[in-house]
Structures are given as C-alpha cells and as structure tokens.
Amino acid sequence: MKKILLCCLLAVLGCGLATLSAKEPAKKKEKEITTTVFMTDIHCEGCANRILNNVPMLGKGVKDVQVDVPTKEVTVTYDASKTSPEKLIEGFAKVRVKAEVKPQQ
C-alpha cells in the first residue's frame, strides 16, 4: 500500500513540475525611453526650481528634467510606456506652468 501511495505521489509531483517548467515567464513591458522638448512660460530661476522640485507631479516614468530659462525650454526624458506628452502637459499645469510640445524643425 505504501508503495502505491508513493508511486502516485511521485507521478503527481512529476506532472506538476512538468507543467511549471512548460510555462513561459511573464514578460515585462519594454521601456521606451523618449525625450521631448516643451516650450513653457517660465521666466526666472524660481519657475525653473518649481518644476525641478516637483518632478513627481509631472507624471509616472519621468527619468530626467532639464530646464533652460533663457530659451524657456524644458527637456523631459521619460518612459513612453508609462506616460505621454499630453499627460506631461497636464503635469506641468499642476505646477502652474503652461507648456506645449516644441515643434520639430
């Protein structure tokens, strides 16, 4: 009786392990790192600091923010699978900065 139970247990375990190894691991979403330049209404270092101190408010996936006050440009590097330029513009509005995507030349 013990041998029969042991054989059944080994058979069940063998089938269970076989199905576990046959499954493919879940694929993570590929990161799509993108850089977009925005034209803004900033006019001083205070405005630039307001953006830099509130980077999380711009949106998820923001990796880097560079502010150029003389040209009023803000360059944002972000994960495109987590956010978009439209969502970033909404994020700028949260920190009271008007922004639009700079047209490519």
Domains of the chain: 33-101 (3.30.70.100)
| Separation of alpha carbons 77 and 62, rounded Å | 6
pTM: 0.68
Per-residue pLDDT band at 13 (split at 50, 70, 90): low
Contact indicator for 97, 67 with CB cutoff of 8 Å:
no
Kindly state the tokens that stand for 98: 């008007």
Give pLDDT, residue 45.
95
For strands 62-68 and 73-79, give the pairing.
antiparallel
Contact indicator for 81, 65 with CB cutoff of 8 Å:
no
